């Protein structure tokens, strides 16, 4: 709760550049944890990996106003489409050829950098703020609360009604009932936001579709991290948050949701 409160305060009160720094620190901690999932045991290798990720973040910030930066987010979207098939393949027979530490390190970069960049661009007001009648910070907060509430709904509905396993070989605790709970909650959150912000009808419909799509991909992000942890033979990505695992365990849903949400907002701006 303290962690969430600090993040919310940073989103509301900090300018985009300072928020970028805060989120970069969180991203670097997540990169350290991902290095372990990738198979890097030596601290020197982990430090090198975190340094490369940090360099990528700095480069993105340097060229933030360059349209080519958007391609990084699209690369992230391509990865999540590939990840969907990898999860299905792993669920079927656990036979996916991802033994290379270098390949898994590159995948970590495609997961972490686009999600960080998406949040920064949304917060800066470069996407969707005008159509949603809110600020960039408001949209980032909406995304955070959307994912947090959907995760909570998935947990409680899965615990109460869960019987049909979603992907037992990937994450045994997740159920289809949990998915339906998450999507139901996300729809309610989306409808509430639509009425609160007084969106135009056409934009409101597209926005609700985007909300459901974003939460669907957030579930995929959770499954992908679980898959890589299983391949690495670890339970939690880290122990920096006592009782809650690592930072990566807390942001796995957001890493997939943020690029989808950003790309959807950009698409709606072009359409409308």
Helix axes 201-232, 176-197, angle to 10 degrees: 140
Distance CA 168, CA 159 (A): 15
Distance CA 18, CA 25 (A): 11
Distance CA 120, CA 118 (A): 5
- Hey, which residues does 165 pair with through a beta bridge? 175
Tell me how crowded residue 136 is: count the other CB atoms within 10 A of its CB.
22
CB 265 within 8 A of CB 122: yes
| Count of domains for the chain | 1
What is the full per-residue pLDDT of the chain (272 aa) written as tens digits?
667 788 888 899 999 999 999 999 999 999 999 998 888 888 899 999 999 999 999 999 888 877 788 899 999 999 999 999 999 988 887 667 777 888 999 999 999 999 999 999 999 877 655 566 678 888 999 999 999 999 999 989 988 886 788 888 888 888 999 999 999 999 999 999 998 888 888 888 999 999 999 999 999 999 998 888 888 777 666 555 555 567 888 888 999 999 999 999 988 877 76
Query: Residue 259: which H helix or E strand, with range?
Result: helix 247-271
Distance CA 230, CA 133 (A): 43
Please identify which residue in the block is written with the tokens 């949304």: 122
Note the pLDDT of residue 238: 56
CB 258 within 8 A of CB 119: yes
Note the pLDDT of residue 29: 93
pTM comes to 0.91
Is the sign of the CA dihedral 84, 239, 230, 50 positive or negative?
positive
Longest dimension (CA), the chain: 55
Distance CA 122, CA 110 (A): 18
The boundaries of the domain holding residue 61 are 2-271
């Amino acid at each position: 709760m303290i962690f969430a409160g600090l993040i919310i305060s940073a989103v509301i009160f900090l300018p985009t550049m300072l928020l970028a720094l805060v989120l970069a620190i969180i991203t670097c901690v997540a990169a350290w944890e991902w290095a372990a999932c990738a198979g890097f045991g030596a601290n020197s290798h982990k430090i090198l990996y975190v340094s490369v990720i940090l360099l990528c973040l700095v480069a993105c910030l340097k060229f933030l106003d360059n349209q080519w930066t958007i391609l990084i987010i699209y690369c992230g979207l391509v990865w999540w489409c590939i990840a969907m098939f990898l999860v299905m393949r792993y669920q079927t027979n656990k036979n996916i050829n991802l033994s290379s530490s270098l390949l898994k390190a590159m995948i970590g970069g495609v997961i972490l950098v686009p999600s960080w960049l998406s949040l920064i661009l949304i917060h800066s007001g470069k996407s969707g703020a005008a159509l949603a009648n809110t600020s960039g910070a408001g949209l980032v907060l909406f995304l955070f609360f959307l994912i947090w509430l959907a995760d909570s709904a998935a947990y409680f509905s899965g615990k109460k009604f869960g019987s049909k396993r979603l992907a037992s070989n990937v994450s045994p605790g997740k159920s289809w009932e949990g998915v339906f709970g998450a999507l139901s909650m996300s729809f309610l959150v989306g409808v509430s936001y639509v009425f609160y912000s007084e969106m135009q009808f056409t934009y409101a419909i597209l926005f609700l579709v985007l909300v459901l799509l974003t939460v669907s991909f957030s579930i995929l992000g959770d499954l992908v991290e679980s898959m890589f942890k299983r391949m690495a033979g670890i339970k939690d990505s880290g122990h920096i948050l006592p009782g809650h695992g690592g930072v990566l365990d807390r942001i796995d849903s957001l890493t997939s949701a943020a690029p989808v949400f950003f790309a959807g907002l950009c698409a709606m701006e072009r359409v409308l």
